[in-house]
Structure 1
Amino acid sequence: MPRGSKDKYTAKQKRKAEHIEDSYKERGVPEDEAEARAWATVNKQSGGGEKAGGSGRTTPPAVKQAARESSARRASKTRQGIPRPGQKLEAMSRDELMELARKRDLSGRSRMRKQELLEALRGKS
């Protein structure tokens, strides 16, 4: 038998648990086990009892900061092909080298590999 009051669950969650429980019983699972599994499934799918709406749930500042940093890293990746100022050629991706070659109007750049782009940008070819 599941522990705790089920008063905080929505009607939809209660119906879902009942339906899941019936399904387990049809497969021969004992009644107590079926009920426990049903509520565990509802909890896993919906996160437990009824939640406060909108601003009632807050995210800790540390989690927000980590999300911002992660988002900033993703945003910098969307600048693909645009070299960062002061960056060494060896540290650039092929796309960044290609953009630089485009700006310098190097011919044959579309067929070049990364090493060839590096040499051409340094003026060795």
Structure 2
Amino acid sequence: MPRGSSPKRERQYEHIKESGEKRGMSEGRAKEMASRTVNKERARSGESKTVGRSSTQGKSPSQRGGQKSGSSSPSERTKDDLYQEAKKRGLEGRSTMTKQQLKNALGH
């Protein structure tokens, strides 16, 4: 955290860092994520000296809720992944199914 940060930003940083560690992130990665998030929030609210264009456009990190962070979730598997699973299970008609049909047939 930069010197002179508000108590609110200090609490926000600690909360984000601890949350990342609870989810299994390394301490270094959790600190980096917390710093980036808090710095972006500071830029959006006019608390920092310099502001990048990407910091002021789009949803804020708190509104986005981690939508772009980390790897894709298991529910966002590719059609090929779903097809391979269907093949292992011996699912009939898999070659003509759409991604959504494969998800439904596999119970995803």
User: Which one has the largest radius of gyration?
Assistant: 1
- For Structure 1 versus Structure 2, the TM-score category normalised by the shorter chain is 0.3 to 0.5
Q: Normalization by structure 2: what TM-score?
A: 0.39
Q: Normalization by structure 1: what TM-score?
A: 0.34
